[in-house]
Amino acid sequence: MVRHLYVHLPFCASRCGYCAFVVEVGALEMRDAYLDGLCHELAAEHPRLGALETVYLGGGTPTLMRTRRIAVLLEAIAPSMAEGAEISIEANPETVDRAAFAGLRAAGVTRVSIGAQSFQPQLLQSLDRRATADQVRSAVACAKEAGFASVSVDLLFGIPGQTWEQLEADMAEVHALGVDHISWYELEIKPDTALARMGAQVPDDDWAADAYEMIVRDLEGYGYRWYETANFSQPGHECRHSLGYWSASDYLGIGVGAVSTVDGVRWRNTTALASYLGEVARSGRPGRTMEPLDAATRRRERWMLGLRLDQPLDTAWAGPPDHPEVIGRLEAGGLLEIDGGRVSLTRRGRFVQNAVLHELMEYA
C-alpha cells in the first residue's frame, strides 16, 4: 500500500528559461476539467492507497489552481490520509497573498515551498521569472503569518552570469528570511529550454564547488541541518515527502506527466493534457509508459538515493554496491565510512558524491 501521494498541477503563466517540467502555459480555462480528471484518477487508484503520510502538490504552479480547487482536491484525498499527514504545496510568489495562504492553511495544507530562485533582479530576469525579489519576501512573510507547520524556499546557484557577490547577497537574504527549510539546487541546463537554446553557460566546476561549500557552511552556521545533498532544515522541519523518495519508498503520482513507483514497477502518465483528460474520464487510467524495475536497478537506486542523506545506508536492505572492491580505497581516502552493515559518505565524500557513486555503481 502506498503512503506517499504526488499530485501534478501543470498550469503556469509562462515557461521559465531553465524549466523542463511538464507544464501547460495559457490553458487556465482547463483547470476545472483538470480537477475532475484528477478526481477520476484518484478514485481509480484508491485500492492502492494506504493511510497517506504525505501528500505533495507540485507543478507547474499549483497555486494557480486557486484555493477553492485545492480545497476540493484535498477533500477528495482526505479519506485516505493518516492522522498528522504532511500536506505540501509549491507556491510561486507572484500568485499568492495573505488571503491565499490563509485559505490554503484552512484547506489543510501544512507545508509550503516558495520558489524564490534568487533575489537578484538581473538573475531573476535572466531566468524569465515573473516574481520580483520583493514579491518573494512578501510571500514568505505571508506564509509565516498564516501559520504553516513549515515554510521552505527554493534557491538556485550556478546561474549563468552569477557572480560571487550575488551569491553572497542571496545568502544574506535567505538568512534574513528565517525560514524552516531551504532547498538550494545547482542549476542544470536541460535540453529544449530557452537557456539551452541560447547557449547559456553555467559557471565553471571550481566556482560551483566553492559555491556549494559556502552554501553548506553558512546554512549550517545558521542552524540548518544539511540532511540531503541540496536540502537544509531546522530541526523537525525536514520534508517527509522527499524523505520518502530518498529512502526508495513506493509513491503514487497522479496528474499529467506524473511518475509512480509501486511494487517494483515505475510508470509515467501521458504528458499530453488532452489525452490525459479524455482517458481519465473514460476509465480513470491515463495512458502510461510502464517500466518494471529489475533487482539491479532497485539496488542501484537505493544506493544513489540513500547516499544523498546524512543518515547511514543499511546495506542489508540496500544490497551490495556493484564494485565492493573500491570500498576499502574510498574509506582509506576519507570519503566513505562503514560501521557494521551501515555505510555513509563522510563530510568530504558528500561534496564529491557523484564521483564516489560513479566508483561504486554501474549506471544504466
Ligand X SMILES: C[S@@+](CC[C@H](N)C(=O)[O-])C[C@H]1O[C@@H](n2cnc3c(N)ncnc32)[C@H](O)[C@@H]1O
Binding site for ligand SF4 (CB under 6 A): 12, 15-16, 19, 21, 23, 59-61, 92, 115
With the C-alpha atoms ordered 324, 328, 333, 338, is the resulting torsion angle positive or negative?
Answer: positive
Name the residue nearer to ligand SF4 (CB basis): 94 or 228.
94
Closest approach, Cβ 127 to ligand X, in A, equals 9
Contact 254, 45 (CB under 8 A): yes
Q: Least distance from C-beta 28 to ligand SF4, angstroms?
A: 13
Is 58 near ligand X (CB under 6 A)? yes
Report the residue from 76, 185, 249, 293 that binds ligand X according to the rule CB under 6 A: 185
* Site size for ligand X (CB under 6 A): 16
Q: Which of residues 19-38 bind ligand X (CB under 6 A)?
A: 19, 21
Instruction: For residue 256, give every residue at least 6 positions away whose Cβ sits within 8 Å of its Cβ, in sequence order, or none.
Output: 8, 10, 22, 24, 34, 269, 270, 271, 272, 273, 276, 286
- The closest residue (CB) to ligand X is 115
Least separation in angstroms between CB 324 and ligand X? 32
Q: Which does 173 bind (CB under 5 to 8 A by kind): ligand X, ligand SF4, none?
A: none
Identify the residue whose cell numbers are 558524491. Answer: 353
User: In a 3-state reduction of DSSP, which class is residue 208?
Assistant: helix
The residue among 257 and 286 lying less far from ligand X, judged by its C-beta, is: 257
Nearest residue to 18 via CA among 230, 196, 202, 201: 196
- The nearer residue to ligand X, 11 or 343, going by C-beta atoms, is 11
Enter the C-alpha cell of residue 150: 513549515
| Using rule CB under 6 A, residue 120 touches ligand X | no
d(CA 77, CA 66): 17
* Minimum CB distance to ligand X, residue 187 (Å): 5
Query: Which of ligand SF4, ligand X, none lies near 23, with the C-beta cut-off 5 to 8 A by kind?
Result: ligand SF4
Picked from ligand X, ligand SF4, none, the partner binding residue 315 (CB below 5 to 8 A depending on kind) is none
Could you say which residues in the range 217-236 bind ligand X, by CB under 6 A?
none
Angstrom distance (rounded) from CA 357 to CA 228: 15
- ω before 349 within 30° of 0 (cis)? no
**By C-beta, is 67 or 92 nearer to ligand SF4?**
92
CB of 111 to ligand SF4, least distance (A): 18
* 145: its cell numbers: 503569518
The reply on whether position 259 binds ligand X by CB under 6 A is: no
**154 contacts which partner out of ligand SF4, ligand X, none, CB within 5 to 8 A by kind?**
ligand X
With binding defined as CB under 6 A, does residue 92 bind ligand X? yes
Among 128, 154, 250, 322, binds ligand X (CB under 6 A): 154
Q: Which amino acid is residue 206, in one-letter code?
A: D
What does the block give as the cell for 72? Answer: 476540493
CA distance 345 to 119: 32
- DSSP 3-state of 70: helix
DSSP state of 232: E
Helix (H) or strand (E) holding 29: none
Taking the C-alpha atoms of residue 307 and residue 248, their distance in angstroms, rounded to an integer, is: 12
Nearest approach in angstroms of CB 226 to ligand SF4 is 24
Distance CA 153, CA 163 (A): 21
Shortest gap between Cβ of 137 and ligand X (angstroms)? Answer: 15
Q: Given the rule CB under 6 A, which residues bind ligand X?
A: 18-19, 21, 58-59, 61, 90, 92, 115, 117, 154, 156, 185, 187-188, 190
